[in-house]
Structure 1
Amino acid sequence: MVGDRVAKSGKPNGRRAPLWARLCSIFGCVLMVVSGGLLIGGQALIARYAGAVQQKSLFGDEPAGAAPRKVSDIKGPLNILLVGIDPRDAATAPLSDSIIVVHIPEGLKEAYLFSIPRDLLVEIPPFAKTGFAGGTSKINAAMSYGSSVGNGKHDVAQGFDLLAKTVSKLTGIQHFDAGAIINFGGFKKIVDAMGGVTMTIDQDVKSEHLQPDGKPRPRYPSCADNHCAHPYYGPQAQYKKGTFHLEGWQALDYVRQRYGLKNSDYDRQRHQQQFIKAMADQALSADVVTNPIKLDRVLRAAGQSLIFDGNGHNVVDWGLALHGIRSDSMTLIKLPGHSVFSGGSYRGEGLDPSAQEFFTSVSDGSIATFMVNHPEFINRTS
C-alpha cells in the first residue's frame, strides 16, 4: 500500500515556503527558526539549532589568516553543492548517491537547481591527499577516491573536497559558496518527525529494496558482492501514480528507485527534486510550525542529518541572506543525457553537448536567457 491518498488539489496547510526554507530541507538545517515571524524567535533558540548542525571544511583547508566573514558578504551570484549519501561507517568508502547544484543569480531573488547523474562518466582530477592520480570514472566514485585518511578509515568531508573539484571541472563553476553532505537516513527521521509528507507520485514505481511492510527484501546469496543487476527477491513495495501522504520510509524508498523507470536515473533525479519541495512544504505547514513538540523533533532530526560548510557563515546566516527568494522563482533543471556503452556493456552516462551550453550560461550569468531559449531543460514536478 502506497500510503494515504489525498485529493489531487490537496497541499499542506500554512504559508507557501520561500526558497530559503526549501534550502532548509535540502541542508537538513534549521532555517525555518528565523522564518518571517512564524516561530518564537530569540537568539538563544536560533543558536541552539544552528549549533546542532555539524560544520566541517568541505572544500579543503581554509587559507591561512582568513578573516571571518559577515552575513552581508553573502552576495550573488552563488553556487551551492549538495550531496546525499547513504549511512556508512568510517571503514567504508563513501559514494555520492545524489549530487545537486543550486545556482542563485545576482540579486538573490531566484534560483536554479540541477542534478548531476551519479553514473555520469567524468574526468576526476588528481588528489594529492590520497595519492589518487586522476582518471575517467563515474562521478559518484569521486568521494571514494578522495576520502581515504589511512588505516582503512574514510572521511566524507575530505571526499567531498575531491567531488567538488570534479564538479567544478565538469561545469566550469570555479568556486562553491556553500556545501552540504546530507545523510539519507536522516531524511527519514525528518519526515517521521513531521508525521509524514504529502507528495505527488508521477509514475507507478516498484521498490527494488523494500517489501510492502517496509522491511528489506531478502538478497540472493550469490549476489552478496553487489555484482548482480537485481540482487533482491520477494514481494515489493509499490508506489502508484497520484498524490499520497507517505511515511518516512516510503518517501525515502520511492526517491531512491531507478530500476524499472523509463528514464532510469533521470527520473530518479526528478523524484528527488520533488521530494525536496514536498519536505519543505510540509516543514513549513501549520501542522508543524504551530506544534512546538513536533517542531522541536523536526529541527533536532534535521540538525543531526547534515554536515555543512557555509564558507564562514552558519546555516542561519544563509537563511537570512536568502530570505527574499520565493518558491515560485525556483526553477528545477533536467540535464539531457544518454547511456554510454562499450563493447555492448554499460559504462555509465554521458551528457548531451547542450548541457555544456547550460553550464556556460551558469558561469557567465546568462542562465535566464538560456532557459527562455531552452524550455525543454525545465524539470516539471508533476
Structure 2
Amino acid sequence: MVGDRVAKSGKPKSGRRAPVWARLCAIFGSVLMVVSGGLLVSGQVLYARYAGAVQQKTLFGDPPAGGKPRKVSDIKGPLNILLVGIDPRDANTAPLSDSIIVVHVPPGLKEAYLFSIPRDLLVEIPPFPKTGFNGGTSKINAAMSYGSSVGNGKHDVAQGFDLLAKTVSRLTGIQKFDAGAIINFGGFKKIVDAMGGVTMTIDQDVKSEHLQPDGKPRPRLASCADNHCAHPYYGPQAQYKKGTYHLEGWQALDYVRQRYGLKNSDYDRQRHQQQFIKAMAKQALSANVVTNPAKLDAILRAAGQSLIFDGQGHNVIDWGLALHGINSESMTLVKLPGHSVFNGKAYQGEALDPSAQDFFASVRDDTITSFMVNHPEFINRTS
C-alpha cells in the first residue's frame, strides 16, 4: 500500500484562504521545494519569529567590489525564482543538485509557471574563479559541486548554488533570479509530515529503488560499495500504484525521487515532482491546515531545518505576502522536450530539443502565457 486510498476531491471551498506561510511553503516547497512567509495565528502576524526561522544566506554571489548594496524595493513581477533540491550531505562532501526548478511569475503575481531542468542535462558550466574551476561541458547537477569548495576539503552549498545559478542563466538566458532556495530532502520529509501528509494522484505504477514497503532502506549489495552499480540494492520494494492516495512524508519523498524503471526516466520524475508541488499547494489550502495553528507552527519549525533562502533583499515573509494570490489552481506545470545523448551505447546525458529555446525566450520576454496557449504540448498534466 502506498498510503490511504482516497477519492478525488473537489476544489477547496471558496472564501477560505491559506495563511501566506502555508501557501508559499507549498509553492516553493519542493522536489521539490518549500519556502514560506507570513503566518496568521490567533489574529496576530508573528512576523519576527517566522522571518528568522528560515536560514537566509547570499546564494547569488557577492556584490561587485565597491558596488552598492542590493536595493530593497517592492516585489514586482515578472519574477524568476530558482529552487534547488539536494541530498543531505555534510561540509566534507561536495553537493549535487538532485532537482532544479525555475518558477516564473508574471507581473500580476496571480499565477506561476514551473519548469524543471533535467539533472543530467549536458550544459556549458561557466568558469568560477573562487574555486579555480575553468569551465567546461558537464551534467548540470555537477555545477554545485564545482562551485562549492572553500578549501581544506570543505564545501559550502550556498557558494555552489551561485555557480549553478550562473549555469542556469547561461542555459535559459534569464539574466537575474529574484529569489532562490536550497531544499534539503531530509528536512523536506519533516515538512510533509508536519502538514499531515499530502494527497496526490499517482499517474503510473512505480517501484522504489531505495526503500522497502515499510519505509526502511533496502539492503545494499556488498559488490556495489563503490557506487558504480546501476542497481545496487536488493530485496522487497515499496510500490506506488496508479490512483489517488494520501502519502506520508517518507512515501512522498521516495516517490518523487524515483526514475529507474520509468518509461521516460528523469522526465517522468520531473513531472512527478511538479505534480507534488501542486498537490502540496492544494493541501496548504485545506481546512485541516488553515485552521490549525499548531500544525502551521510545526511546518515552520520543519522548514527552518531544511531551507536556505535568498530573497535578494526581502525576507521570506515579504515574499509570502507578495505571492499570496497564487494557489494550486493558478500553477501551470511545464515540461521541456528533450532526449538522451549516447556515444555509441554509452549514455552521456540529456539534451533539450531546439523548441526549448523558444520557451526560454517567452520566459525572458514574459510572453509565456501566450506561448503556452499556442504550445499546449509543453503543459505537464497533473493526472
- Partner SS state of residue 97, structure 1: strand
Matched to 1:295, the amino acid is L
Q: What amino acid maps onto 1:233 in structure 2? A: Y
Q: Kindly indicate whether residue 335 of structure 2 is the aligned counterpart of residue 334 of structure 1.
A: yes
SS of 1:162's equivalent in the other structure is helix
Residue of structure 2 in register with 1:352 after alignment: 353
Structure 1 residue runs without a partner (length 5+): none
Q: Secondary structure at the match of 1:80?
A: strand
1: CA distance, partners of 2:115 / 2:81: 11
Match of 1:133 in 2: 134
The aligned counterpart of 2:6 is 6
- Describe the shift of the 1:306–1:174 C-alpha distance in structure 2 as closer, same or farther (beyond 3 A): same
How many residues align structurally?
Answer: 376
2:35 — aligned with what? 29
Distance 1:21 1:306, change over 3 A: closer
| Further displaced range: 103-112 or 235-244 | 103-112
Calculate the TM-score normalised by the size of structure 2: 0.93
Match of 1:325 in 2: 326
Specify the SS of the correspondent of 2:319: helix
Specify the alignment match of 2:308 in structure 1: 307
CA distance in 1 between counterparts of 2:376 and 2:290 reads: 36
CA distance in 2, matches of 1:347, 1:60: 30
For residues 305 and 34 of structure 2, the distance between their equivalents in structure 1, rounded to whole angstroms, comes to 8
| Greater mean deviation of Cα atoms: 220-229 or 202-211 | 220-229
Q: CA deviation at 1:336?
A: 0.2
Q: More displaced, 358-367 or 284-293?
A: 284-293
Determine if contact 1:87/1:183 at 8 Å carries over to the other structure: yes
Equivalence for 2:181? 180
- Structure 1 residue 16: Cα displacement: 6.3
Q: Does the CA-based 8 Å contact 1:144-1:159 persist in structure 2?
A: yes
Cα deviation, residue 283, structure 1:
2.8
Deviation at 1:23, TM superposition (A): 2.6
Alpha-carbon distance between aligned partners in 1 of 2:376 and 2:6, rounded to the nearest angstrom: 30
Q: Offset of 1:41 from its aligned partner?
A: 4.5
Say which SS state the counterpart of residue 101 (structure 1) adopts. Answer: strand
Q: Residue type of the partner of 1:9?
A: S
Please tell me the residue identity of whatever aligns with 2:370: T
Q: Kindly report the root-mean-square deviation, in angstroms, between the aligned alpha carbons of the 2 structures.
A: 1.9
Matches within 5 A, 1:1-382: 1-9=1-9, 15=16, 20=24, 22-26=26-30, 28-31=34-37, 33-34=39-40, 39-43=41-45, 45-63=46-64, 64=66, 66-67=68-69, 69-70=71-72, 72=74, 74-382=75-383
Which deviations, in whole Å up to 9, do the C-alpha atoms of 1:112-151 show, x marking residues without a partner?
1100000000000110000001111000000000000111
Return the alpha-carbon distance in structure 2 between the equivalents of residues 246 and 68 of structure 1. 41
Cα distance in structure 2, aligned partners of 1:213 and 1:85: 24
The 8 Å contact of residues 180 and 309 in structure 2, kept in 1 or not, is answered as: yes
Secondary structure of 1:31's partner? Answer: coil
1:180-211 residue CA offsets vs partner (Å, 9 max, x unmatched):
00011111001111221111111110000000
Structure 1 residue 295: Cα displacement: 1.9
Q: Distance in 1 between matches of 2:78 and 2:293?
A: 36
* Structure 2: distance between partners of 1:51 and 1:220: 43
User: Following the alignment from structure 1 to structure 2, what is the Cα–Cα distance between the partners of residues 278 and 136?
Assistant: 35
User: Take 1:109 and 1:353, find their aligned partners in 2: how far apart are those partners?
Assistant: 29
Amino acid at match of 1:198: T
Q: 1:109 to 1:296 in 2, by over 3 A?
A: closer
Deviation at 1:281, TM superposition (A): 2.2
Structure 2 counterpart of 1:191, which letter? V
The 8 Å contact of residues 24 and 32 in structure 1, kept in 2 or not, is answered as no
> 1:326 deviation in Å?
4.0
Larger mean Cα displacement after TM superposition, 4-13 or 302-311: 4-13
Distance (Å, rounded) in 2 between the aligned partners of 1:13 and 1:88: 41
Compared with structure 1, are the counterparts of its residues 378 and 228 closer, same or farther at alpha carbon in structure 2 (3 Å cutoff)? same
Residue type at the aligned position of 2:132: G
TM-score, normalised via structure 1 length: 0.93
SS where residue 269 of structure 2 aligns? Answer: helix
Q: CA deviation at 1:238?
A: 0.3
Alignment partners' CA distance in 1, 2:70 and 2:80: 20
Cα 1:102–1:346 shift into 2, 3 Å: same
CA contact (8 A) 1:80 1:176 kept: yes
In 1, Cα distance between the equivalents of 2:128 and 2:259? 31
Contact 1:258 1:267 in 2 (8 A): yes
Q: Distance in 2 between matches of 1:95 and 1:322?
A: 29
CA contact (8 A) 2:281 2:327 kept: no
Give CA deviations for 1:28-74 in whole Å, capped at 9, x if unaligned: 3332515xxxx43535x1220220100000000034463464452x1
DSSP 3-state at the match of 2:143: helix
The verdict on how the C-alpha distance between 1:324 and 1:287 changes in structure 2, with shifts beyond 3 A counting, is closer
Give 1:108 shift. Answer: 2.0
Q: Give the match's secondary structure for 1:280.
A: helix
